[in-house]
Amino acid sequence: MTLLSWITAFLLIGATAADQQAKLDHFPEIFVVAKEGDSVSLTCLTTTAGNVAWKLNDEELELKLEEFEVEDHMSLNLIVKKVDAPMLGEYSCWRDGTKLWSTYLLQEPEEEEDIDSLLTCRAKSYDCNFSCRWTEGRYGAVRLGIGPDCTNGLPTCHWVSSSGQPNSEGFQFELTHNLSPFGEESTMLEVTAEAIDIDINNDNFRFLKKTKKFYLRDIVVPDSPEIVSLEVVQSQLNVTIEPPSSWSTPHSFFTLEHEIEYILRDNGQVKMTRLRTAALGFRVVSCSFFDIFVV
User: Which pLDDT score, from 0 to 100, does residue 83 have?
Assistant: 92
Taking 3-state DSSP, the helix, strand and coil percentages for the chain, each rounded to the nearest 5, stand at 10, 45, 45
User: Which pLDDT score, from 0 to 100, does residue 65 have?
Assistant: 64
Nearest CA to 31 out of 166, 148, 202, 206 is that of 206
Whether 69 maps to a domain, the answer reads yes
Nearest CA to 123 out of 115, 112, 131, 135 is that of 131
* Domain end marker among 193, 218, 243: 218
User: Which pLDDT score, from 0 to 100, does residue 143 have?
Assistant: 97
- Residue 93, classified by CB atoms within 10 Å of its CB into exposed (0-12), middle (13-18) or buried (19+), is buried
Nearest CA to 102 out of 43, 38, 26, 21 is that of 43
CATH number, position 239: 2.60.40.10
User: Which pLDDT score, from 0 to 100, does residue 294 have?
Assistant: 53
Does 127 share its domain with 191? yes
* Domain end marker among 218, 252, 279: 218
Q: Helix and strand tally (H, E) in the chain?
A: 3, 21
Whole-structure pTM value = 0.78
End-to-end CA distance of the chain: 56
Distance CA 57, CA 200 (A): 8
Nearest CA to 81 out of 42, 114, 134, 43 is that of 42
| Number of neighbouring beta carbons within 10 Å of residue 268 | 7
* Domain end marker among 185, 202, 218: 218
Distance CA 17, CA 137 (A): 19
Helices (H), 131-261: 148-151
Distance CA 225, CA 292 (A): 13
| Number of neighbouring beta carbons within 10 Å of residue 115 | 17
User: Which pLDDT score, from 0 to 100, does residue 107 have?
Assistant: 95
Tell me the chain's radius of gyration from C-alpha atoms: 29
The pLDDT tens digits along the chain (295 residues) read 554 444 344 334 343 334 445 678 899 999 999 999 999 999 999 888 788 889 999 998 876 567 787 765 557 889 999 999 889 999 999 999 999 999 999 999 887 778 999 999 999 999 999 999 999 888 999 999 999 999 999 999 999 999 877 777 789 999 999 988 887 788 899 999 999 999 878 778 999 999 999 999 999 999 988 888 877 777 677 777 888 899 999 888 888 887 777 777 777 777 776 666 543 333 444 434 445 455 5
Does 253 share its domain with 170? no
User: Which pLDDT score, from 0 to 100, does residue 88 have?
Assistant: 94
User: Which pLDDT score, from 0 to 100, does residue 288 have?
Assistant: 42
Whether 9 maps to a domain, the answer reads no
Distances (CA, A) of 132 to 70, 99, 187: 45, 38, 19
Residue burial 205-242, b: 16+ Cβ < 10 Å; e: rest: bbbbebebeeebeebbebeebeeeeeeeeeeebebebb
Determine the structural domain holding residue 55 and report its residue range.
36-107
Q: How many domains does the chain have?
A: 3
CATH number, position 136: 2.60.40.3760
